[in-house]
Amino acid sequence: VDLIVRPDGGNVSSPIMYGLMHEDINNSGDGGIYAELIRNRAFQSGDESRYPVTLDGWSAVNGAKLSLKKLSQPLSAALPYSMNVAVPSSSNKTVGFANAGYWGMDVKVQKYTGSFYVKGAYQGKSFTASLQSALTGEVFGTTKVPVQKAGNDWVKYDFNLVPEKAAPNSNNTFAITFDAAGVRGGSLDFNLISLFPPTYKNRPNGLRVDIMEALAALKPKFLRFPGGNMLEGNTLPTWWKWNETIGDLKNRPGRAGVWGYPLSAGLGLVEYMQWCEDLNLEPILAVWSGLALDGGELPESRIDEAVQSALDELEFLTGDASTHWGGIRASILGHTRPWKIRYVEIGNEDWLGGGSTGFENYKKYRFPAFFKAFQEKYPEIQLIASPSVFDGMTIPKPAGGDYHPYLTPDNMVSSFNKFDSLTRDNLTLIGEAASTHPNGGIGWSGNLMPFPWWGGSVGEAIFLLGLERNGDKVIGATYAPGLRNLNRWQWAMTQIQHAADPALTTLSTSYYVWKLLGTTAITKTLPVTATTGGIGPLYYVAGETERGSSVFKAAVYNSTEPVAVSVQFAGLGEKVKQPHKKTATATLTVLTGPTNPYEYNDPWKHNNVVKETKTKLNAKEGGIFSFTLPQLSVAVLETDGE
Ligand code: AHR
């Protein structure tokens, strides 16, 4: 295939071409990126008919008796349950309780920051916080927490714990024990028991370092949150109420998640904004559109409630201290500087839920109510409807849409041209995307693949190259929910898998593909013309990056033999003719995979089936670079600076 890349004549692409999407699915928030180590730290439910409050994660130490209590004087209205720890009158030892974490805890010689609340008469001098092996009982670290005041009021204790020794594996627990003689025959009540390892950028109540570092390496530009289905809730009352996710942890009631487990809401609206700050991401804030996953829907007479909540949320984030919600942000949370919100999405996949009327009502009154309110109050914000033009919605300008391709690799590839027919009036976000099923037709009646696999990842690459060709019509693109805890998950297709043991953090085949394309995102396309061959089995796009380099990005799919490529950067040809420049160089990065396209990166095998090679190429006369790409490969040729 012989191609010429012209130096001008292309279109300016979206400044936020590649990003992230997060919802708490797969214990990717609690038990994932949210660094809290204690599972079920405050006995939350969000919806007791769905998630009865339990002592899940907790066990007694030395014969203490643990039970849940709904005290007449709870820690807070938001946290009505606490754990009662009764001490048998026969006990002479230290007693207490332990937490198993999110299926273990990583113990290193580093500072852990903890806290807990206690209520009750305790005559002892201190509590002991410790980290130990669940298998052998070996204690890796312990600290005494002196008693401040014992009595009928709840008292908060803060402590630091630095283990003397790292644990050999993550099968560890965290315990709080105390002197049985100080309570014998009585009991103490505990709540909101928390323990954090060091967090990314040392944020209190922050995020897990290794996962944030892996996300940072993707060089993303936006974060779409908090869903996904997570935004909607299973039932009308259980949608993601942003105002219940802010402030002191003891005032966050938690939430009935939609993926089979309740949520702490520790990763709340402010923590999401800090995530954006720390990775320099543009928030794409999804607000509830009045639809629940069970089909419950706000009637037209009540849609203003959802609209007002969204406006309040915007005021909380962007209003100055003189506004009601901006004042709360500034005075109570101490964040005086307003954040900037440039993108708001109304709902999630509203073309899908709500039975026969859900989508019709979205078009008829739900979306229009938001559209009108935002046009009046926040006309500068790019609104995004949760369906796209491909889902059968005519989206009023200047709003955009959101398209979620969950496809086979073949269908990813056949979507390469999908955006060619759009105009700039059809601005589209790819708010979730992944190759989910193998080719061959099992579709949604069959399982997803167990992990992103090489053939699927190359399919995604080709879809993304098609998007980059149309970067002026695209708001941005992100993989499906990115994270998955290997111990409890509902959705297999994720960029990164993780568990308590950081050695299990696994970057999938798709991670490598999205990283290569994201770190070379095109800011302005350059026209490519073929003098020999054309699109398929080589798929390609060319453009300029924010570094000022020129790139040619390509992938090969369904080829029986390696594809010989010559790319002439016509502009570079001119430069090479300059007397002081003998040659021009470029770096060719090629990702290749296994011969079997179904292979994947398996967390337990610690393998990486993706091979990356980097080669320096010299241009021939006229700025021509020649190379060969094998079947199922993804490549970026990037010109070097002067
Ligand atoms: O990715 C999992 C789910 O798939 C998301 O929550 C939803 O938006 C989509 O249907």
CA within 13 Å, CB half, 417: 4
- Asked if residue 209 is part of any domain, the answer here is no
Distance from the CA of 477 to the center of ligand 1, in angstroms?
15
State residue 333's pLDDT score: 84
Same domain, 93 and 218: no
- Asked if residue 42 is part of any domain, the answer here is no
Confirm whether the ipTM is greater than 0.90: yes
- Asked if residue 631 is part of any domain, the answer here is yes
Distance from the CA of 257 to the center of ligand 1, in angstroms?
13
Neighbour count for residue 450 (Cβ, 10 Å):
11
Query: Mean pLDDT throughout 15-33?
Result: 98
Question: Which protein residues are within 6 Å of ligand 1, measured from CB?
Answer: 23, 25, 227-229, 348-349, 432, 480-481, 491
State residue 296's pLDDT score: 95
Looking at the CA of residue 352, tell me the nearest atom of ligand 1: 10
Same domain, 222 and 168: no
pLDDT tens digit string along 165-200?
A: 999 999 999 999 999 999 989 999 999 999 999 999
State residue 574's pLDDT score: 63
Same domain, 146 and 274: no
- Asked if residue 201 is part of any domain, the answer here is no
CATH number at residue 152: 2.60.120.260
Domain boundary among 138, 165, 196: 196
Distance from the CA of 380 to the center of ligand 1, in angstroms?
28
State residue 642's pLDDT score: 56
Distance from the CA of 114 to the center of ligand 1, in angstroms?
34
Percent share of the chain, pLDDT over 90: 92
Distance from the CA of 404 to the center of ligand 1, in angstroms?
9
* pLDDT class of 362 with cuts at 50, 70, 90: very high
Looking at the CA of residue 491, tell me the nearest atom of ligand 1: 2
* CA quadruple 488, 36, 346, 495: dihedral, nearest 10: -50
Query: Mean pLDDT throughout 370-380?
Result: 98
State residue 160's pLDDT score: 98
User: How many Å from the N-terminal Cα to the C-terminal Cα in the chain?
Assistant: 27
* pLDDT class of 204 with cuts at 50, 70, 90: very high
Query: Mean pLDDT throughout 544-560?
Result: 96
Same domain, 289 and 344: yes
Amino acid at 296: G
Pocket test for ligand 1, best of 432, 435, 437, 493 (most atoms within 8 A of CB): 432
> Per the structure, how many domains does the chain have?
3
**CB-based contacts of 402: which residues, under 8 Å, 6+ apart?**
345, 349, 384, 385, 386, 387, 388, 428, 429, 430, 431
Helix axes 509-518, 454-469, angle to 10 degrees: 20
Same domain, 246 and 264: yes
Looking at the CA of residue 348, tell me the nearest atom of ligand 1: 8
* Lowest-confidence region among 286-295, 500-509, 579-588: 579-588
What is d(CA 575, CA 619) in angstroms, rounded to the nearest whole number?
11
CA-closest residue to ligand 1 atom 5 = 228
* pLDDT class of 598 with cuts at 50, 70, 90: very high
Residue with tokens 């004042």: 327
Q: Which domain holds residue 559?
A: 2-13+523-639
Same domain, 515 and 528: no
Same domain, 448 and 557: no
Distance from the CA of 491 to the center of ligand 1, in angstroms?
9
Residue with tokens 């601005």: 427
* pLDDT class of 334 with cuts at 50, 70, 90: confident
Same domain, 606 and 493: no
Distance from the CA of 291 to the center of ligand 1, in angstroms?
15
Pocket test for ligand 1, best of 386, 388, 404 (most atoms within 8 A of CB): 404
Neighbour count for residue 632 (Cβ, 10 Å):
24
State residue 462's pLDDT score: 98
Q: Are 130 and 177 in contact (CB under 8 A)?
A: yes
State residue 440's pLDDT score: 87
Amino acid at 44: Q
pLDDT tens digit string along 534-549?
A: 899 999 999 999 999 9
- Asked if residue 302 is part of any domain, the answer here is yes
Same domain, 242 and 172: no
Neighbour count for residue 224 (Cβ, 10 Å):
30
Residue 18: closest CA among 610, 587, 511, 638: 511
CA-closest residue to ligand 1 atom 4 = 228
Query: Mean pLDDT throughout 604-611?
Result: 97
State residue 581's pLDDT score: 55
What is d(CA 455, CA 446) in angstroms, rounded to the nearest whole number?
18
CATH number at residue 587: 2.60.40.1180
State residue 577's pLDDT score: 53
Q: Does the pLDDT of residue 573 top 70, yes or no? A: no
Domain boundary among 519, 541, 559: 519
Same domain, 25 and 83: no
State residue 576's pLDDT score: 53
State residue 111's pLDDT score: 98
What is d(CA 640, CA 586) in angstroms, rounded to the nearest whole number?
5
For all residues of the chain together, what is the average pLDDT?
A: 95
CA-closest residue to ligand 1 atom 8 = 228
Query: Mean pLDDT throughout 32-40?
Result: 98
Pocket test for ligand 1, best of 22, 27, 229 (most atoms within 8 A of CB): 229
Looking at the CA of residue 230, tell me the nearest atom of ligand 1: 6
Looking at the CA of residue 229, tell me the nearest atom of ligand 1: 6
**Integer angstrom CA distances of residue 464 from 123, 283, 476, 514, 516:** 65, 21, 10, 9, 11
Same domain, 307 and 347: yes
- Asked if residue 252 is part of any domain, the answer here is yes
Residue 566: closest CA among 591, 604, 538: 538
**CB-based contacts of 106: which residues, under 8 Å, 6+ apart?**
167, 170, 172, 197, 500, 501, 502
- Asked if residue 202 is part of any domain, the answer here is no
Q: Does the pLDDT of residue 487 top 90, yes or no? A: yes
Distance from the CA of 348 to the center of ligand 1, in angstroms?
8
**Integer angstrom CA distances of residue 16 from 90, 144, 280, 341:** 65, 49, 11, 14
CATH number at residue 361: 3.20.20.80
Q: Does the pLDDT of residue 578 top 60, yes or no? A: no
- Asked if residue 149 is part of any domain, the answer here is yes
Percent share of the chain, pLDDT over 70: 98
Distance from the CA of 188 to the center of ligand 1, in angstroms?
42
Distance from the CA of 345 to the center of ligand 1, in angstroms?
15
Domain boundary among 493, 519, 545: 519
Q: Does the pLDDT of residue 213 top 70, yes or no? A: yes
Same domain, 513 and 531: no
